[in-house]
Amino acid sequence: MYDAALSDTVAKYPVDIQPFKDMIEGMRLDLRKSRYENFDELYLYCYYVARTMGLMSVPVVGISPESKASTETVYNAALALGIANHSPTYSETLEKSKRGRIYLPQEELARVGLSDDNIFRGKVTDKWRNFMKGQIKRARKFFDEAEKGVGGLNSASRWPVWASLLLYRQILDAIEANDYNNFTKRAYVGKAKKLVSLPSAYGRALMGASDLAKLVVR
């Protein structure tokens, strides 16, 4: 059933095969790699397992004929949204560490005086809070970058993409509300907040690219 759906999609839309191959490579990478020395290494992993979905999706959701944004801008935004949506998995830090995997830059952990043992023990300290503040700040920059290109998508596609962006972004807020306790508290967006976010996402989806740019700047 899934093969039939994928075949139909590839036949109807100009979907490139490379992102699919890259995603498979990311899954292979999980079999042989459980630590990432720096953010560049982690960034590549995030491309394989998350940003590839943006490259797969843009040909399907489509770029608006009225869009003044370049195709490159829209695709860069899709790539940014992929890595931004992957970043809230910070909320699963302890769960993943129990499987022997730490998806955090080792250099940046060491810079603030943290090690794998600190992750395995799962205790929130000032060092951990400072570390997470930096990670969340960077994640929000990717969300900001993603916002720049959503207005360039076809009007029928913008609402679900905006909803995804706003909801995933709120997971970062939830981590902060939990005092950066990624270990014993699961960061999630409640149903009420999700419902409130949908009209906001719809409103943004209706906005023109120029009006949206002014909103992003504010």
Question: pLDDT tens digits, residue range 80-95?
Answer: 888 887 776 676 787 7
The percentage of the chain sitting over the pLDDT mark of 90, rounded to a whole number, equals 61
Kindly state the average pLDDT of the residues 163-190: 91
CATH of 2-217, one of 3.40.190.10, 3.20.20.70, 1.10.600.10, 3.30.470.20: 1.10.600.10
Maximum mean pLDDT: which of 69-73, 91-95, 177-181, 210-214: 177-181
Indicate whether 208 pLDDT > 70: no
Which whole number is the average pLDDT over 152-165?
Answer: 91
Mean pLDDT computed over every residue of the chain: 88
For the chain, give every domain's residue range: 2-217
Over residues 8-51, the pLDDT tens digits come to: 999 999 999 999 999 999 999 989 999 999 999 999 998 998 88
Instruction: Please compute the mean of the pLDDT values over residues 89-105 and round it to a whole number.
Output: 81
Rounded average pLDDT over 139-168:
91
User: What angle, 0 to 180 degrees and rounded to 10, lies between the N-to-C axes of helices 39-46 and 71-86?
Assistant: 110
Q: Is the pLDDT of residue 212 over 70?
A: no
Is the separation of the CB atoms in 91 and 186 below 8 Å? yes
Residue 211 has pLDDT above 60, yes or no: no
